[in-house]
Structures are given as C-alpha cells and as structure tokens.
Amino acid sequence: MKKLGFVLAIAISAAACSRDDAFEMPAGGSEVTVQKKDGVTVEGRLVEVQANQVIVENRAGVKTAVPRAQIADVRKMTTPAATGDAATAKAAMAEAPEATAGNKEAAVPTPGDPAPAAPARADKSAPAAAERAADPEPAFREVTLPEGTVLPLTLRTSVGSATSNVEDQVRATLRSAVSINGVEALPEGTAVVGHVTDAQRSAKVKGRATVAFRFTRLDLPGEGGMTNIRTGTETRTAEGTKKQDAAKIGGGAVGGAIIGGILGGGDGAAKGAAIGGAGGTGVVLATRGREIALAAGTPLSVKLTQPLTLRVRLR
C-alpha cells in the first residue's frame, strides 16, 4: 500500500506540472512583451506576478492586468548588449570557413584507409521556421488613452434649448486623429454618439435657456464595432437680456411722455411716461429671452472622464 501511495503521489505531481505555463516567467521589474492568444501584445514593465494574472505597466504609467489563461507567451525584451553578442557570433561564423580554407591541405588517401564520410547538409529552413514560430508578428496591440484626453469633435446633429428633448441622440465625428506615444489610437472621422441630458427654454420673466449633452459610445471604423466611453457634460447657456429689457421699458416711458406732453402739457407728460413705462414692462413680461442653439458643423471639444483601452491594428 505504501508503494501504491508513493506512485499515486508522483503521478499527481507530474499531472500538476503538465498544467503549468509552457513559458518561463521573467523576474518582476523586467521589460517584457506579453503575447496573448488572440494576437494582441502588451508591452511594458512587469510589476506584479500573481497566481491567475500578471500586471504590466506601460510608459504612460497605465497598468494592464492580463489573465494567465489568455497568455500565449511572455518574452523579456532584447537588450542592446544581447543584440551585439549575436552580431559578434554571426561574424565569427562567417570568418570560420575562410580560416579553414586557408589552412587545408590536400589529403592523399592510402589504399588501406576507409573512404571519408560525406559532409552532413545543414537544414537551413528548420532554424528559420523555428524563429518565425517563436516570434510571431502580432496583428494588433492594445493602447490606453488616459483620463483627461481631449477629443476634438464636430457636431453632426443640431441641438437647441427650444428644439431638443432629454435623451435625444447627439452625433459627432473627430476633427483630427487622437494619438498616444506615437501610436494613432483613433483616426480622424471616428463617429461619437451621445444624448441630451438637459434642455430648458428661456422663461418670460427670468431664467436663461440651457442645453447640455455628453457622449457615451465610439463607433470605431472598419470591423472595430461600438465601444463605451465616458466624457464630461457639454453645457451651453444663453446670454442674459437685462439691458434689452431695460431699453424696452425706458423707451416706452419716453414715448409716452412725449405723447402726453403734446396732448396735456406737463401733467400729461408725467402721465404719458407712466403709461408708456407700464406698456414697455408688459412687453418684456410677455416676451421670452434668447434661446441657445448649436447647428450641425459646430466645433467643440470634450474630455474623457475615465481611461479608454483600444485594440489598434499594427501597420
């Protein structure tokens, strides 16, 4: 029974080892390239290695957690020194045949000597195929736009305090591409979709017109599909009309005074001023203030309120 238990323990240990990662995990703090099974690569410094995931920090300081189940390979980035050693080794291999050719002498076989064996042919295709398999060229990579990134937009739908309602759709496109670390994350013309969050018409007595909206989705070009985003709210408020209202009331009073003076002298002018001022006030109370409207084609800029990670095709 003891022997049987020992054999079972060895079998269980071997099965556990076979389930371990087929790749060797570099030490923490190393600059690595993580190759995911879907073709995406994540590059940066290996800051943490956990049982179920690894965490990589890129040059922008953004950390990306990659589950171990999605990892195809993890490679430590090649240093310049290693590259120099490889070049030295290749140069030494190139000089070796010349040295052999300069020192070789014509061999004269004797009747009793066996025939020399034919030199083995090196299979040049095998190393090249192995190198391609070990270092596949990924089709995509992940980039992260940090919080606060500005999106320069052009409105494609009009919005206004008098014409829009809450939850109405708002569409816009990028006026120019958005890049990070020299990589184009969002090309010019990318569609952005959002909705109206507030729309208030101007009041007759007080209260200025307001319209507000924000964007929640990106319609990526090609086969990228839709992805969720969060931006700050864009709010526009109409200008006040206090000066114009005062002019209307004052103008009515002056006009009434002139007419009253013509008809009834000094008392008539005073009465006419009062009547004219009241008329001007009535006009102000019956008239709404200015509305706010943004036409299609209006340029504006919004900021991301949370980081946005995208898959970018390598060129």
DSSP 93: H
Q: Of the candidates 230, 207, 231, 227, which has an alpha carbon nearest to the alpha carbon of residue 218?
A: 227
The pair phi, psi for residue 31, each rounded to 5°, is: -80, 120
β-strands 159-160, 63-67 pairing: unpaired
How do the domains of the chain map onto residue ranges? 21-76, 145-237+300-313, 242-288
| Both tokens assigned to 148 | 């606060």
Q: CB–CB of 310/177 below 8 Å?
A: no
Q: Quick one: pLDDT at residue 156? A: 97
The CATH number assigned to the domain with range 21-76 reads 2.30.30.100
- What is the rounded CA–CA span in Å between residue 60 and residue 47? 14
| Other CB atoms within 10 A of residue 28 CB | 13
Q: CB–CB of 198/166 below 8 Å?
A: yes
DSSP string, 29-51: T-EEEEEETTSEEEEEEEEEE-S
Q: CB–CB of 249/206 below 8 Å?
A: no
| Other CB atoms within 10 A of residue 308 CB | 21
User: At residue 136, what is the residue type?
Assistant: P
Q: Quick one: pLDDT at residue 20? A: 47
Q: Quick one: pLDDT at residue 204? A: 57
Question: Tens digit of pLDDT per residue, the chain (315 long)?
Answer: 555 555 555 555 444 444 445 677 888 888 988 888 888 888 888 888 888 888 988 887 888 888 888 888 888 887 554 444 555 545 555 554 444 444 444 455 555 555 566 655 655 556 656 665 555 555 788 899 999 999 999 999 999 999 999 999 999 999 999 999 889 999 999 999 999 999 999 875 567 999 999 999 999 887 778 999 999 999 999 886 555 545 555 555 555 555 555 556 556 656 655 565 555 555 444 555 789 999 999 999 999 999 999 988 776
Q: Is 0.85 surpassed by the pTM of this model?
A: no
